[in-house]
Amino acid sequence: MFARRLAGHLARGLVMILVVTTVSFFVIRSVPGDPMAARYEKLVEQGMSPVAAQRAVEVLYGFAPTGGLWQQYVDYMSGLLRLDLGQSLMVPGVGVSTVLFSAAKWTVLPVLAGTLLSFLVGVVMGVYAAIRRSGRLGDVLAISGSLLHGVPQYVLALLLGAVFTTLIPILPTSGTADIMFEPGFNAGYIGSLIEYATLPVLTYALASYGGWILAMKSSVVTVLGDDFILAAELRGIKRGIVFRYVTRNAILPLFTILALSLGMLFGGAIFIERIFNYPGLGLMLIDGINNRDYALMGGAFLLITAAIVVANIVADLFYTVIDPRVRSGEGSI
């Protein structure tokens, strides 16, 4: 049962990845401005012979595309089968996977930390806002959630950046670590990493906190109105136990949102990385697009797609663990 479910998910996921890869391959190639062609033209203009110019370009990038668009597509896909994402154009001579991995470490950890932090705080506050929804504190919490949910990430990032460079300049606002520390596993460097990551993580957490508190609040309010909660109270079930009934039922739908937003990890937080000059995937993708780095763009899209597909599968399988109604499969509901 479980294995069949997993196999089905994987098959669908692979098809999804194939489709996205194909579409993005052709879309990317149709973007005007081929960097190799541009460099080649430039060299020819500078008086180099076409053959020499071609060779120079090949030397510079370490490879040369051969054949037409279809041939390139077939080459690209067969490369993918060997997990070869191709060569980056922006960083000549380096594989796309290397570039992706070096950027990913600056995105995954901070965004993961920010998501989990905002999830925890948002869920707890959401429960509180729901239970105290007719009181002042509940109002304040709900309004803070709506406000933060409505403010765009880049505005939050700019605000925090401004505050921490001018009013209270206690946190670094640019880069990943102080250059005076030797990168490696030493206390000074790690401390510096944390210090530099604080603002991006905080921004990310604040930006997503509003969504969590609002979602949890409405979920708790819904469950509070469910018959089984009143039934439990009429049976004289202790408050603490009823509270657990409420929260466990209310948090279920949020796990789906959490899993899906973790899938977006690799999409990077473009604005936040840009403003805090944090060299993550988002920033790298922007650079790649500006430089018409086809392979890098394709690789980044592939990574994002794969992450979302995996997150979907994880969310679904996780549900079978936490929700008995899904577990038994052919349930009545």
Does 321 participate in binding other proteins (rule CB under 8 A)? no
Does 241 participate in binding other proteins (rule CB under 8 A)? yes
Rounded least distance, CB 246 to other proteins, Å: 10
How many residues make contact with other proteins (CB under 8 A)?
A: 26
DSSP state of 84: -
Measured distance CA(28)–CA(206) in Å, rounded: 34
Does 168 participate in binding other proteins (rule CB under 8 A)? no
- 87 forms beta bridges with 95
Does 234 participate in binding other proteins (rule CB under 8 A)? yes
Measured distance CA(285)–CA(268) in Å, rounded: 9
**Residue (179 or 234) nearer to other proteins, CB:** 234
Measured distance CA(113)–CA(107) in Å, rounded: 10
302-327: b or e for each residue (b if 16 or more CB lie within 10 Å)? Answer: bbbbbbbbbbbbbbbeebbeebeebe
Does 228 participate in binding other proteins (rule CB under 8 A)? yes
Tokens 């933060």 appear where?
148
The SS3 of residue 87 is: strand
Does 330 participate in binding other proteins (rule CB under 8 A)? no
**Residue (82 or 238) nearer to other proteins, CB:** 238
32-41: b or e for each residue (b if 16 or more CB lie within 10 Å)? Answer: eeeebeebbe
Rounded least distance, CB 237 to other proteins, Å: 5
Categorise residue 292: left if φ over 0, alpha if ψ from -120 to 50, beta otherwise: left
Does 249 participate in binding other proteins (rule CB under 8 A)? yes
Does 231 participate in binding other proteins (rule CB under 8 A)? yes
Q: Considering only the stretches 17-25, 66-74, 228-236, 296-304, report the one whose residues sit in contact with other proteins under the rule CB under 8 A.
A: 228-236
Question: Please, which of residues 129-148 interact with other proteins by CB under 8 A?
Answer: none
Residues at the site binding other proteins, with contacts judged by CB under 8 A: 226-228, 230-239, 241, 245, 248-249, 252, 322-325, 328, 331-333
